[in-house]
Amino acid sequence: MSHRDGASRETENDSDDAPRPTASRRSLLSALAGATVLPFTSGTLAYARATPDADHDGDGLPDADEAGGSLERAFADTFGDQFDGFDPERRDLLIDVRYVEGTDVSSGTKATIERLFRREGIYAQWLDYPDRYDRDTFERRYGPNARSLLWGGESFYRTEVERRFRNAALQLIVVPGRAHPEYSGLVYSPVTDALGGGEDGNVNGFSMGNRAVVADRDDPREERRLVLHELAHLGLCHADDPNNRGVMGAGERIDLTDREWDLLRQRVDSVQDSSGYDVLFRPCLREQWLSD
């Protein structure tokens, strides 16, 4: 999660008036976990037992898929020349970006993301989905609400994103954000709201690990900071080190620390839709909201 612009609002941990975790908050998370995550876990366990395919580069893509076949053809057919193909000897990270009409991500941000990940041994491919989603239809069906976008049987993620891509790419949804004057340009997250975070639950972006939503940004630097922050949640939590100047900490540098890159390289396979790395299983929430 990422809050409104400004170093003092970079993460929940950075806010001086952020509420302390309480027993009621722990109870709430337990209840939410039972209602929201358990349906994912049964499928996750079955998936883990049923898929022994080798993945020597640790990117979550079975070597058999990366050696050519229907999945590679599907990406090539959909994304055209943007897609560089697979390499079973390379740690790939496909970023499948979906735009609501009227939103965009600058070419500078796309290049920065690819450059940073590739520098660290993760071959990121920024893939702009060819179709834009009609804004009126999108607002009517989903709106700028993390729940209706990222999880649940009728969410944008489940109804609009093809299953074959959900299991092979990190989805990033770019939305206009709320029009409400107090929360302009933000996304509402009921989980964040229930936990006392954000601005009444409204944030710049929200991640569930292998899929995330960000609100459209005009400022190039803030756009890069926000996008890298939410993409890094694929395997990272917010930093609690006051000396962390990267996007998971103070946000002064558009980068991650060496240690964070090490962890992210190890966790690229979380891109799998059935990895179990969903919102209430993420160590971020356990560490930030359940600790005393």
Question: Is 66 or 75 the better-scoring residue by pLDDT?
Answer: 75
Alpha carbons 235 and 251: distance in angstroms, whole number: 18
Question: For the chain, what is the largest distance between any 2 Cα atoms, rounded to a whole number of angstroms?
Answer: 53
As a whole-number percent, the residues of the chain with pLDDT over 70 amount to: 70
For 158-193, what is each residue's pLDDT tens digit?
Answer: 999 999 999 899 999 999 988 888 899 999 988 888
Question: Is 158 or 38 the better-scoring residue by pLDDT?
Answer: 158
**pLDDT above 70: residue 207:** yes
Q: Percent helix, strand and coil across the chain, each rounded to 5?
A: 45, 15, 45
- The CATH number fitting domain 7-289, selected from 3.20.20.80, 3.40.930.10, 3.40.390.10, 3.40.50.720: 3.40.390.10
For 83-117, what is each residue's pLDDT tens digit?
Answer: 999 988 899 999 999 999 999 999 999 999 999 99
Q: Are 232 and 210 in contact (CB under 8 A)?
A: no
The number of beta carbons lying within 10 Å of the beta carbon of residue 168 is 26
Reported in sequence order, the residue ranges of 26-139 that DSSP labels E, i.e. its strands, are 92-99, 123-128
Lowest mean pLDDT among 56-60, 203-207, 218-222, 240-244: 56-60
